[in-house]
Amino acid sequence: MLSFFKDYKYFAIVFAILSIIIISIIFNILDVEKPLPVYQPAMVNSELVDTSLIDVRKYHKIADFSLINQNGETITQDDYKDKIYVADFFFTTCQTICPIMTDHMYYIQKELKNDADVMLLSHSVTPEIDSVAQLKKYALRKGVDDSKWNLVTGDKKQIYDLARKSYLAVKDYEFGGQYDMIHTENFMLIDKKRQIRGFYDGTNPNEITRLIADIKKLKKEYE
């Protein structure tokens, strides 16, 4: 019996060392935080995507835009250059999900108020109603920080195209006009390359917690 153990002594030592190494490698692999996905139109509910983009599987980015904010200032993609931002679609006279979504946007603003890398962008889906004065009134009531959060209005076709072809966030309103849309509860997380990195239910507090965690995860990609 002693002879048996002597014969396999070195084998047992090597095997034990290899086992420790393999276990450590597996642990490290599992412990590595996976990056957030980069969403493409083909990955999203087809109801939210313009028919021209349904089969697009790569290179999708938020298009250039030029809209007017609550202070009458022109806001373009340059105002969000090298920023991570959360976008949504709303309208000031909405009495259903919009107040909840806006309150949750305010919560994100408060939680990340000192993070200059993160901004917010809310698009009106009823620009014919949401004038600059209307947006300003709404912004004051909701505690919007002008340096961090833009509520924007402008050309309806441009907002529709952004919603359907860039943010993949609204549904067609088949009984309305050409550019009428049904906005959803979606919040979209946009990275510094203007790519969509996440969708979240803007009415669900648990989803807002997940969104904030994902923002912090996304920031690590740039460290």
Interval 108-124: pLDDT, tens: 999 999 999 999 999 99
Task: Give the CATH number for residue 180.
Answer: 3.40.30.10
pLDDT band at 218; cut points 50, 70, 90: very high
Question: Which residues, including other chains, have CB under 8 Å from residue 25's CB and lie 6 or more apart?
Answer: none
Q: Is there a binding annotation on residue 60?
A: no
What's this model's pTM, rounded to 2 decimal places?
Answer: 0.85
Q: Is there a binding annotation on residue 183?
A: yes
Closest residue by Cα to residue 58 from 39, 77, 79: 39
CB neighbours of residue 95 within 10 Å: 6
Task: Taking residues 203-212, report their average pLDDT.
Answer: 98
Residue 31 has pLDDT above 50, yes or no: no
pLDDT band at 173; cut points 50, 70, 90: confident
Residue 20 has pLDDT above 90, yes or no: no
Is residue 152 assigned to a domain? yes
Residues 62 and 157 in one domain: yes
Written as six digits, the tokens of 133 are 């004065």
pLDDT band at 48; cut points 50, 70, 90: very high
Q: How many domains does the chain have?
A: 2
pLDDT, position 19: 53
pLDDT, position 116: 96
pLDDT, position 172: 87
What's the chain's average pLDDT? Answer: 89
Is residue 83 assigned to a domain? yes
* Domain with 54 in it: 41-220
Q: For residue range 125-150, what is the model confidence (pLDDT) as tens digits?
A: 999 999 999 999 999 999 999 999 99
Question: Which residues, including other chains, have CB under 8 Å from residue 89's CB and lie 6 or more apart?
Answer: 122, 123, 124, 125, 159, 163, 167, 169, 170, 181, 183, 184, 186
The secondary structure of residue 218, as a DSSP letter, is H
Is residue 12 assigned to a domain? yes
Residues 18 and 60 in one domain: no
How far apart, in Å, are the Cα atoms of 34 and each of 37, 41, 212, 214, 218? 9, 21, 16, 11, 10
Closest residue by Cα to residue 163 from 198, 125, 208, 121: 125
- Among 13-22, 76-85, 96-105, where is mean pLDDT lowest? 13-22
How far apart, in Å, are the Cα atoms of 186 and each of 11, 45, 183, 193, 222? 58, 12, 8, 20, 25
Residues 168 and 111 in one domain: yes
pLDDT band at 32; cut points 50, 70, 90: low
Is residue 73 assigned to a domain? yes
Q: Are 73 and 151 in contact (CB under 8 A)?
A: no
Residues 210 and 107 in one domain: yes
